[in-house]
Amino acid sequence: MSITYEDVCVAQDRINGAVIRTPTIRATRLSMLLGIDLYLKLENLQHTSAFKARGALNKLLTLDEEQRKKGVIACSAGNHAQGVAYNAANLRIPSTIVMPVHTPFNKIKRTEDFGARVVLHGKDFDQSVGETLRLAKEKGLTLIHPFDDPAVAAGQGTLGLEMMEQQPDLDVVVVPIGGGGLIAGVATAVKGVNPDIEVIGAQAESFDAMLAMTENRSFIVGSPTIAEGIAVKEPAESNFKIIKKLVDQIFTANEREIERAIYNILNEEKLVTEGAAGAALAVIMKNAAYFKGKKVGMVVCGGNIDSRMLSTLILRGLVRDGSITRLTFEIDDTPGQLSDISRIIGTSGANVIEVIHQRMMQTVSLKRAELDVVIEARDRHHVEEIVATLEKEGFSVNASSDV
């Protein structure tokens, strides 16, 4: 079943006051770097830190008293789970969430903290779906689908209405695509306000199922993606029909590009985003010439990224920028060498993170030693200054980003 602009407007009235009207802000530094006028719709500030709360709430508010009494069920290991659990608890509707058995504990706990009953079943999403459907039938529970439901898609579209109210002269809106519910709702909303606005979809290169559908080709699941929120194998046919009609283009980005985009949002705009939002910025960065001269709106769909993954991503970004660098020395195996090197690095304003002093390997002569020093500097130019100073002091040194 398709949705209309009126459906999104009704959803906005229905959920008004129960969801956060998130801001749409100008990304000043990213705009300067990319040469475009970029605006970010900050759904990472939404309840449960993701847009999914909108669609879940709109669907829950359409249920009759009998459905509310029996309860609802959903299958998700991420944002949809928390969106359903949070809103169901506020409406005093019992909720059950089915998750794969290997779902990270922090995601399970967050969902349980919102009052949901969590059932762990299956090694992946597909196996969890089967159990979800079985329980729904057995217990008489109403299924809240993450994207294949017109009420859910209409609820997601409300953020598009807000964007047009906040920035009515946008030329183009970039939206991540997984199952298609978000972009179907947003495209319906923004084109209902301005039929001439462009809507661009963003997908991970290894999970471009929706793009494959538009190109009438087969889809083969690629390697795992950091944009796990949009790693959908089978998008909804109902959403595909809307996308085919209203979405102007779909671009993809690879894992390295998505990782860099997440880092750039954090580093330049001080915003924590998840992989799906990274995919949106990644396609903008990759196709900067296409967007040049346009006022671009981008949906920052969520901020639920695993903290361990984020810490690694930050370190990799610092290495890529040259702020963290490995300096390799071959030195005389005599007292004071390490002290002199540390003094020069410290005086230059850098910080020593790690030191590996190697005597036993046979790559150097017996009276020599190999020394690896990992430093944190301001940037790549600062590293070059430090290397020049060390060489001036008589040390032979090689700098490498292979940390």
The string of DSSP letters for 314-347 reads: HHHHHHHHTSEEEEEEEEESSTTHHHHHHHHHHH
Predicted pLDDT of residue 403: 56
Task: Give the C-alpha separation, 129 to 293, whole Å.
Answer: 44
Q: Do the beta carbons of residue 84 and residue 117 sit within 8 Å?
A: no
Dihedral in degrees, nearest 10, Cα atoms 187, 144, 49, 78? -110
Stretch among 78-92, 276-290, 306-320, 330-344 having the lowest mean pLDDT: 330-344
Distance, CA of 97 to chain centre: 22
* Domains recognised in the chain with CATH numbers: 1-321 (3.40.50.1100), 323-400 (3.30.70.260)
Query: With bands split at pLDDT 50, 70 and 90, how would you rate the model's confidence at 366?
Result: low
Query: With bands split at pLDDT 50, 70 and 90, how would you rate the model's confidence at 257?
Result: very high
Predicted pLDDT of residue 103: 83
Task: Give the C-alpha separation, 261 to 272, whole Å.
Answer: 11
Task: Give the C-alpha separation, 369 to 334, whole Å.
Answer: 9
pLDDT higher than threshold 90 for residue 280? yes
Task: Give the C-alpha separation, 245 to 184, whole Å.
Answer: 10
pLDDT higher than threshold 90 for residue 321? no
